Amino acid sequence: MVYLDTSVLVALCVREPKSAAVTAWYAACREDLGCSVWCVTEFASALGIKQCTAQITSEQAASAWQAFERLCASDLHLLPIDPSTFYRAAELTLDADSGLRAGDALHLAVALDAKIKHMATLDETLARNAMRMKVKPLGFD
C-alpha cells in the first residue's frame, strides 16, 4: 500500500504546480492507496484556506470536494487512528530537529503503525522524516 498525505490529495483535486505529475502518477499507479481519516478534515481545511486567500472560488472548492469524495469512495482506504497513534505523533513532533508539524506527524505515525513502506507526499519535511523512519517517499518531478 502507498500512503498518500493530504498534499497529494489536494494536487489531485485542485490545479496546483505539481498536479500534472501527481495525476500522471495516480493514473499509472496499480498499488492500493491509503490515508488516515485525518485527511478528510485536513483536505477541507486546505480548501477553506485556498478560498480565503482567493486561490480558488467557492465553486472550485465544491468541485474539488466532490472529486475528493469520489476518490475516497473508490480508490482510497481511509485508515483509522488509534489513540496510541496520536501519542506516537506527539513523540515525533517533540523531536525539534524533525521540523514536523502536528498534522504531518500524524500522517507519518499512521503510516508507521500500518507498516506502510511507501509514501506519496509533496511536503519535503514529511518526506525527509518518512525516509528517516524507513518509509520511502515517492518523487513527483
* pLDDT of 141 over the 80 cut: no
119 grid coordinates: 509514501
What is the model's pLDDT at position 140?
83
Instruction: State whether residue 104 is helix, strand or coil.
Output: helix
When pLDDT is averaged across residues 5-29 and rounded to a whole number, the result is 97
What is the model's pLDDT at position 117?
97
Question: Domains of the chain: which residue ranges?
Answer: 2-138
When pLDDT is averaged across residues 11-32 and rounded to a whole number, the result is 96
Distances in Å between the alpha carbon of 29 and those of 22, 24, 26, 72, 82? 10, 9, 5, 16, 28
Model pTM score: 0.94
When pLDDT is averaged across residues 23-41 and rounded to a whole number, the result is 96
The CATH class of 2-138 is: alpha beta
* pLDDT of 77 over the 80 cut: yes
